[in-house]
Every structure is written in structure tokens, then in C-alpha cells.
Structure 1
């Protein structure tokens, strides 16, 4: 005993102090792990029961995470089992108050449950509603974020279960509507613990493919618990981050998964998704034929209307007898020529009369006209006109200009009349 204590006292105090020459015995590590783990406080956890074995009143359970493939052994002692309202059932979703337990002899880590409660439908719906409200407040459901579907996608990405009715419905109905449609299909788990991870990975892979123009996530309905992966926050955010339009085709009308709210288009069923993603070839051909008929009628009506218009134009006199227009213009020219000739002659006559009148006036004012009436013009030798007797004193030589001819004369006598007297 004393040797053991001495040996114990020589052991390293911490794990970091151990060496190959001075290691811990395995029991020391086990005891220290047990002490550390069992000092952890109790916590509430949620999961799905994979196994439930009841022996001697004790329940030995396997609890798995609802989203990823993590599981843990849980022990429910008989004293706790007696206080439960309902015994644990495989496949049920539960919350448990657990505390870690480490069995040092075998190095087995497990959880001891002091309370176990099934998660009711009301609790699930309330939790989903809280998540839905939080994502709505973030704006992930904003209609402005919704991307329009392509008119005729060249390639459609489809995420669905392997050999599922949803896959068959989408492919069959889309092919019936548009035989040339092409699919890029990713088969994943659509319920259970692996569903979220597999659907998210397939979604991101299809979104990264530039040939895929639209993605359909399809499942043929199911119970609320089965559809919980399509309300996972991780999957919802992955859909919101996609650059490719996404159609949610989860065939469950009663309780809509959150995926329906964040997707660009919600289809009520996989068949509805097929109808939304491609047009109906027969319907398009019918529409094309109808459009061609309308176009044909419109062209015919236009041609007929223009034909009638041309006939109406041809029936007009100017086109039925074009010479009448020339004859009318010819008559107009003759009439205008006559009017201009008459106007010119009248203008010339008025000009002649005006000239004769002006000539008469000029002649009336002419000195010659005065001479013709018997008057004479007397000029000095210098040529100045004599206007006063003083200009031609006695003995002056003057020229007398008559109406016809001239006279030379000598002034023999001159008389100047007194002022105020008329000569």
C-alpha cells in the first residue's frame, strides 16, 4: 500500500505533464474524464428515438438528431420511467433532460435522462411558426426577391426521392406537355435525418450548373413529421441564396412547409410543378394556329380594305378621265390669259389718258403756249429777260421773241409806272 501511494504521488498532476517515461495509468485518465464529464450540468436536448429497450423497468434508448446523423445512448432509470405519462416509442420525437455519464470500466459515454417528454404536434407547429416569422422579418419571403421562371427552360433540375411517385409525376407530365424537355435529376432522402443535408447539397450542385435554368424540389406529401426537413432553416436559407429559380412542389396542402414561402414559385403538387415549368405543346400549337388564323384574317381584311380604297380612288373623275383635269387647267389658263390681256389693255388706256392729261397740263404751263396767245419775250443782248422798264433804258438794243421768230429792236422810250398803279 505504501509503495502504491508512493507511486501515485510520483504521477504527473496534469495530462500535459505525462511523458513516455512517466505515463498515466488508464484508470487515472478514466477517473479524471468521469469527474470532468459528470460535473457537466443537465441540459434539454431534442431528437428522435431509434431504439427503445425496456429491461427490469429501465429503458435503454438510442436518440438521434433530427437533422444530421448524430446519435447518443440514453438511459432512463426505472424511477424516472414510473413518472412518465407515456412510455417511449421508437420513431417518436422527444425532448429529454439529460446529464452525461461516463462508465469508467468500459470507457462508455452515455446520457442519463431525468425527464422525457414527447414533442407534440402543437409544439412543432409553434416552433415552425416562430421560425417562419423570424425569416419573414428578415425579408426572405419578400415578393421582390422572387425570380420569374424561364419561358421554356433548356434543362430542369429535379431534387426528389429515388424511384418516387413525385419524380415520375414531374417527368411524365413535363414530357407529355413538352417532349423535348431535359432533366438533371438528383435523388436524395426526402425525410429523415439525412434529408436536409442531401437536399441542400443537391440544390447547390444544380444551382452551380449553368445549363440548369430552373430547379424543382418535389415530394409527394406526407405527415407533418415527415415534411419537417423542408422547414429546416439550413435548407430554407440555401434556397434563398440560389441564383436559379426554385419551385417548391411538396404535395401537402394542410400544413405548408417553410420551403413554400421562400421558393420563387409554390406548386401544390409535383404534377402542378410540371405544368408550371414548361408550356403545353398542344396548347402552344393551338395558340399558334389561332394566331396564324387571326393574322390571316387581318391580312385579308387589310387587303380587301385597300382594294376597296383603290377602287374608290379609281372611280373618282380625276382618275377615270384624267384629261378632264388637264382640260380644266387649260380653260383656266385661257380665262386667266384673257383676263390679263383685258387688264393690260385697260391699264394701257388709263396710262395713255394720264399721259395726254399731263401733256395738256405741261403745254398749258409752257412759255411757248403763252407766246402762242400773243405774248412776247424781250431779252437783252446778254440774254437776260427784261422784266422791268428800268432794265432797258432808252437806246438799249433788245431781242423780241415771238411765237414764231425773233425781232431786233431799239428802245426809244421807257416808262416806269408809279408805285401802286397798274401799268
Structure 2
């Protein structure tokens, strides 16, 4: 099984470093970035004004606070404290601790060029993780919940992932030999005092970017990222479900979207659903001629594709982070770049477990009417749920070559 894991793991890698707004220019920054969602409220920031907002699910703005900095990650500790982490425009690590009424308890920074890629919360401390800017080294910094820096560990080369093993330890993955196409992936188990418990290596790791995305799932871990086929020079996305020690692979899927050049930007699990968010045809320069599309894919626990939703194609659509929604679906923030007016709008979108739009802010956001549905293996039935505001729907049966074999019109009255 270890050999099988090695074969599969060589294909997984992501580009989280490119998908996040480290650079505070108009083209790189989302006007709205969702940082935290709880069963009762959302926390998001407005990039241009440096405001943090708290809003309930009825779209009622509960509170706000002005705080400088490009926060990209957030979490809630013990239902009492909000932890935020990110980078300022000098690439210094910044962090803040707020109460749930958005009163600032702590705001500080580390004067080191550290690119933040993850945030982990434990009972007596929290960890900010990532890599050093322009230096081949990963970092792990631990903090107390009153905001004091406890320790910082510099280790390895490019940051890959980190996830909890239990209440006292976590796994940290980083690459070596990162100037080559194939690098060694090192997986280190550390306790919360940053003592190294054990080290493992997955050889010949196919690197294509900086980071991967990981999420705990039914006492396992799901890992997703971009992979590059050097034989066909084609880029796609891979996802796997592993045990927490990465000794066993339970399911694996190659997320093949052909020539659309997919770039992963998020992974989240919710109950028995796995959601992968990616760009299609991403233009890193965000030019007025590019038309980026966001693709949300919903997998079941065996990595069967349940549905796939496409958002955009007419303008540039950029998404940052994806979160579990209270109903088993997903919720995310995105930017719509209007190519005609060169203006930007921030949107928060909630899709339920069937892919239907539950919430969008503002109300006049894209209606998100087009998406694809996939039946799971072993069944010849396909259930289609029509939103009430969509009176007519076209159902197309497409074969593996992309040829439409059958097309039929449906209305709400017919289904």
C-alpha cells in the first residue's frame, strides 16, 4: 500500500500561493474575502477599506471594525475569540485576536518575510504556517491566545500542507529539491511544542506550484492539488482520501477538464460531501481580454462526482477560500471583474448540497444558472431539481467525447 501511495502522491500539488492576494494591487485583491463561517454568522473583510464585517445569514450586518492588513485565514476559538492571520503589503506576517463582538484584543506582526498559508487552532495555542518569501524554507509559528509568540521553527523548503492528527500533534508537509520537477515530499509529525516526533518521505513528488489543499474528512484526510503530466504537457487536478498517517489511500480521482487549464483554489469537506473549487483558464495578469471561470465540484465519500457547477465565462471570476455551509453545501466569496467597465464587485455565494444557489450577496449577483450533473456509478437514474425561479431547463446527455447524444427541454410543471 505504501508503494501505491507513493505512485499516487507524485501527482498531487497545488498553487495556493498564486491564488491568494498577497500583492495589494487592484488586479490581485478581492473586494470581499470570506474568512470565517459559523452556524450563525459570517466574518469577511473588504480589501480596499480594510474593514472586517460580521453578518448573519439573513444578510443583516451585525458589526464591523477597521483593522489594517491583508488577513486571509480565520477561525473561532472556543466560541469566544476570533483568530485572524495573513500578510501586510511588506510581506510581514500579521495576526489579530478579536472577541466575537469584533473588539480588537491583540494586533501584532512579525518583521519577517513570511507568506502565510495555513492556520491551526489547538486548546492552549494556535499555529500560523507557510513559507519564507524568496527563501527556500517553511515556517511554523506558535502563539498563545493572549497574542504572545511562543516559538518559531524554520524547516525544509517549500510548504505543502498541514493538518491535525489529534489534540496534541499535527502533520506538516514540505518539499526538498524544489529546483527540479520531481522533489521529495517530507511529512513531519510534530507535537504542539514543535518537537519532531517522526519524519517520513514520499519520493519523486511531481511538483507544480507551491502548496496543496488538505481537509479532515471522516477521521481521514483529503488532499487535493494540481498535477502536471510531463508526457502530454497537460495540467489537471488530482484529489485523494488517505488515512491520517498517509500510509493508506482509500479513494483517488483525476479531475480531468481537458484543455481548460484548471487551477485549484480551495478544498473543503462537509458531512459526506467534498467540495473542490478551481479556476478554468486562469489569467494571472487579469487582463481585460481574459475570461476566467470558477468551477465547483461536489464529490461523495468515494470520490464519485455528484455535480459540477460552472460560474462565469463572460468576465473574470476570482474565488478565494471555500467553507462548509450549515446545510451540508458550501459557501465562498468571489470577485467579478467587469471587462467592459474595468470595475470589481465582491460576492458571497452559498450553494446547497444539490448545487442550488441559496444565498448571494449582493442580490443582483450572477444567477449561476448553468451547471452539469453526473450520475453516480451503479445507477441509471438522474434526479434534476429545478430552482423555482428557473422556469425552463435544457437537459443534455453528453458522451465521453463531448458529443451531445440527446437533448430535452424541461419545465417546472413537467418535473
Shorter-chain TM-score: which interval? under 0.3
Q: Flag the structure with more relative contact order, 1 or 2, with Cα contacts below 8 A and sequence separation at least 6.
A: 2
Higher Rg: 1
Output the TM-score relative to the length of structure 2: 0.22
Higher helix share: 1
